[in-house]
Each structure stands twice: as structure tokens, then as C-alpha cells.
A and B are shown apart, each in its own frame.
Chain A
Amino acid sequence: LFLPCASPLSDEGKALLSLKASFSNVANLLLDWNAANATGDGDDDHCAWRGVLCDNLTSSVVALNLSNLNLGGEISPEVGELKNLQSIDLKGNKLTGQIPDEIGDCVALKYLDLSGNALYGDIPFSLSKLKQLEDLNLKNNKLAGPIPTTLSQIPNLKTLDLAQNQLTGEIPRLIYWNEVLQYLGLRGNFLNGDLSPDMCQLTGLWYFDVRGNNLTGTIPDSIGNCTSFEILDISYNQIRGEIPYNIGFLQVATLSLQGNRLTGKIPDVIGLMQALAVLDLSENELVGTIPPILGNLSYTGKLYLHGNKLTGPIPPELGNMTRLSYLQLNDNQLVGNIPEELGKLEELFELNLANNYLTGPIPLNISSCTALNKFNVHGNHLNGSIPLELQKLESLTYLNLSSNNFNGEIPAELGRIVNLDTLDLSANDFSGRIPDSVGDLEHLLVLDLSNNSFSGVLPAEFGNLRSVQVINISYNKLIGRIPQELGQLQYLDTLILNSNNLYGEIPVQLANCFSLTNLNLSFNNFSGNIPLYKNFSRFPPESFFGNAMLCGNWLGSICQPVLHP
């Protein structure tokens, strides 16, 4: 029991107990925060309490570290009594309520971290009284209202992180006139207004992040003056207009402009920005061709241009971007061949060229991209057959060649790409037998061979695809029976085999596929009875339509179903 009158504690000790009283979930966390622990020998008993740090000489509380303790409740206004506090770290708790105005009385504060809680209400204006404050981190809360203009009155503020809240209004222009500010994190709020030309007055800033707000207007021409920026992220706003030429004067390592409404061409000058590690211009309305000079960016690891209206060919010069690990050019209007020069990208991890108008074959050199993990050319006009060399891409986990004009047989060697989790060859002109070796792809989750001209039988080796969840081979010319080995597939969720020439009885073993929820065997030549036990009762008649000799419980069936014992 806390009895203030009887307590031998100092005023600061009492303030700490008030803090404790307004927290919840403290039972096991702040056991030693207890007036009964105070012996009365001195004023500094609270200095031994968990998370409390006192000055050696004066015994005043200088730091409070109660981060990541799952604390609930609120921050007591009594915190303002701790006048010598230099550091408050309460991040990663479940604190709610408002930030008390009295926190502005902790005039010695240099470091305030309340991030990762559930604090709501406004950011108190009183924070501007903290003239010693260097780090202010309030991200990941539920703070609303405007960013107080008075924050610009904190002369030593180096880090201002207000990301992931519900802040509204404009970014106060005065904040941009802080010469010591190094980090400005405002992502994930509801801030509006334009990007002010004043933003480049931040001569000490290296991190500028306003991603995911409602900012409008254009990129100011003065952007070239932001030469201290290392990271410029204005993505996912509603920024319009063209990318200004002056952007070429930036020294940034990350330029994130994606998810805006930028128009016009990609300026050639970007090809001179060799400090770029990440260039993301995706999901805008950019037109024109991909400037071949981008191939100059030999230190860039990630290039995202997808989701624009880019036309013309893929410049072979992109093959000179030897550090590239991500190249996403999908969802544009690109034409011509896939340049064989891309084979020089030995560090390439993901290549996405889907949904363009690309023609010609997959160049054999792609097999030199031995780090390639994901390869997607879905939705183009590519032709030719699958090159045998593709088997060298042993790291490949995702291979999508769907919706093109590819033809020929699947090479048996494809079964050597054992890390594949997705193999999508659907909607092409592939023919011939499905090689047994596809059954060697033991990590496969999705196998889509639908809408081709595959003939021959379903390999019994498919029973070895022990992780597979989706098999779709509909709209082909398969013959023969469903191998009973498919009954071994415990994770099979979707089996789509409609519109083939499969025949024979539906193997009762399929009822052992406990996960099977989507089954389509319609429009084949199956006969006999539908297994009517275990999970098979869940499949509607549509799963079996168009099999004239199949016996099931639908209108016009050749028989009434027979219940198995």
C-alpha cells in the first residue's frame, strides 16, 4: 500500500510512484517500485528501482527506461516533477491516453521515445519547452491533429520521428529551417499540402520520409538543393507533374517516388546519379522510353519502373547494372525482345517483365543469372520453347511464363530446379507429355499447366509433390486415369483437371487428400461412381459435370449414387 504521508521517499520517488499508479500490468514488472522498499536511510532508494537511473552525485533521476515491458495504462502528469530527466524511453508498451502537457516541464530532456504504444490525442505544444531535446520519437501511436509549428523552436532537435500516426494538416514550413535536424520521419499519416521549396533549407538532414500521406502539388524545382539528403522518400502521395531535371543534383542513395501521379519522361539526368542504391519510380504515369543511360547506374541494386506507361524496348545497356538484384519493368507497354545482355546481371534476384508487349524467345543467356530467384514474363507475346539452359537457374523459386505464345515440350531437365515453389506455364501452346520429372519438384506449392495442348497421361510421380497446394492442368488434351498416387498429397487444396480427355474411375484415394476444397473434374470422360465418403461429400455437382458415364447425385445422372460403407 502506498501511503504518501508516511513515505520516506523523496519528491522524485513519489513522482515515480504516481507514474506506477497510472500504469497497468505492473504487478510483476515494477515489483521493486515500492515505498515499503524505502528504508529511510536516504533519499535515493528509488535509484535502485527497475529502469530508473540516477545521477551519481545529485541522486536525481536522469533516465527512465521501461521499454518493451508490455506496460498498459497512461503516462501520469507527475512525470513533469522529474525535472532532471534527460532520457525517457517507454517504447514498445501498450500505453494509452494522451501525452501529458506536463512532459514539457522535464526541461533537461534530451531523448524522448514513446514509440510503439497506443497514445492518442494531439502532440502537446509544451514539447517546444524542451530546449535540450535532441531525439523525439513518437512513431507508431494513434496521435492525431496537426504537427505543432512550435516543434521548430527546439534548437537541438536532430531526430523527429512522427511516422505511423493519424496526423493531419500541413507540414509546418518552419520545421524546414532547422539546421541541425538530421532525421525527419513522417510516413504513414494523413498530412496534406504541397512539398514546400523550403524543404531544402534542411542543411543537416539525411533522412526525409513522407511516404504514404496525402501530399499534393509537384516536386519543387529547388529539390536539387537538398544535397545533404541520403534518403528521399515521397512515395505513395498524390504528387503530380514531371520529375524535375534538378533531381540530378541530389546525392541520395534511395530515391523513392513511387505511387504518385508523376507524368512526363524519365529524365536522362537520373543516369548520372551513380550514388543511387535504390531507384523506385514505379506506379506513376510516366511515358516515353527507358533511358539507355540508366545502364550507367552500376552501383544500383534495385530498379523499379513497373506500373507506368513506358514504351519502346528494354535497353540492352541495363545489362551494365552489374550490382542489380531487383529489376521490375512489369505492367508497362514495352516492346521488342528481352535483351540477352541481361544475362550479365549475375546478382539479379528478381526479374519481372510481366504484362508488356515483349516478343521473341527467352534469351539463352538468362541462364547466366545464377542468383535469379524469381522470373516472371507473364502476359507478353513471347514465343519459342523453354531453353534447356534454364535448368542452370538452381536458385529459382518462382517461374511464371504464363499467357504467352511459348510452344514445344517441357524439357525433362526442368525437374532439376528443385527449389521451385511456383511453376506457371498456363495459357501457352505447350504440347507433348508432361515429363515425370515435374514430380521431382518437391517444394512446389503451385503448378499451373492449364490452357495448353499437353497430351499423354498425368504422371504418377505427381504423388511426390508433397507440399503442393494447387494443381491446375485444365483445358489440355490429357488422356488416361487420375493416378491413385495423388491421394498422398496432404496439402492439396485445389485440383483442377476439367476439360481434358481423362477417363476411368475417380480413384477413391483422392478422398485421402484432407485439404482438398476445390475440385473440378468436369468435362472429361470419367465413369463409375463418385467416391461418396470423407471430404468428397463437400464437392458440388459442378465439380463433375460433363462426364456422361459418371454416376452422381445430380439431375440427369445415369444412376443414383451408391453409398460406400
Chain B
Amino acid sequence: SVARRRLLVGPGSWPPTCRARCGRCRPCVPVHVAIQPGRNVLLEYYPEAWRCKCGNKLFMP
């Protein structure tokens, strides 16, 4: 599985490369995107995830 392969490679992670993740759109670059988990959370930050961005479009890495 993916998990077992990771254990063989060792710990650590890297932002997505976003290579060919935006269809034909270029340039395709990784960005932080805030994920809004609910309402009434004005005082706290939102969790963030990586997405691939091209122009004003976001794609899954």
C-alpha cells in the first residue's frame, strides 16, 4: 500500500509538484488554500490544504 511504501522511503513530505495537474493551463503552481470548516469560527484560523493553481482556477494536486 501507499503507507508501506512511505515507511520504506522514510519520513518527510513535500508540497505537490503540480506537474500536469491543471490540464493544459500553465503555469500550474502549488498554493495554500484555506478550508472553511464551519460557521462561528471568526476568531480562529482555517485549516489549509495544498491545491494547484493556474490563473484563478484551482485543481486537486
Which residues of A are at the interface with B, using a C-beta cutoff of 8 A? Answer: 116, 139-140, 163-164, 185, 187-188, 200, 203, 206-207, 209, 211, 224-225, 227-228, 230-231, 233, 245-246, 248-254, 256, 269, 272-278, 299, 301-302, 326
Contacts and interface: CB of A to CB of B under 8 A. Distances in A.
B13 A231 contact: no
Interface of B: 1-3, 6-7, 11-16, 32, 35, 37-40, 45, 47-50
Contacts of A246: 11
Contacts of A227: 2-3, 6
Given A224-B11, A227-B6, A299-B15, 4 more contacts: A231-B47, A249-B6, A253-B32, A269-B12
Given A230-B49, A277-B32, A301-B48, A249 B38 contact: no
B61 to A, nearest CB: 9
Contacts of B47: 207, 209, 231, 233, 253-254, 256, 278
A274 B15 contact: yes
Contacts of A230: 49-50
A227 B15 CA distance: 14
Best-surrounded residue of B1, B16, B38 (most CB of chain A within 10 A): B38
Contacts of B48: 231, 253-254, 277-278, 301-302
Contacts of A326: 45
A276 B13 contact: yes
A206 B7 contact: no
A163 B3 CA distance: 28
A206 B49 contact: yes
A207 B36 CA distance: 11
A187 B35 CA distance: 14
12 contacts: A139-B38, A140-B39, A164-B40, A231-B49, A233-B37, A249-B6, A251-B13, A253-B47, A256-B47, A272-B13, A278-B48, A302-B48
Given A200-B3, A248-B12, A269-B11, A275 B50 contact: yes
B39 A253 contact: no
A249 B35 contact: no
A209 B11 CA distance: 23
A273 B37 CA distance: 23
The 4 nearest A-B residue pairs measured at CB: A248-B11, A272-B12, A275-B13, A254-B47
Contacts of B13: 250-252, 272-276
B32 to A, nearest CB: 5
Contacts of A164: 38-40
Given A140-B38, A275-B14, A225 B3 contact: yes
Nearest to A230: B49
B46 to A, nearest CB: 9
A116 B39 CA distance: 8
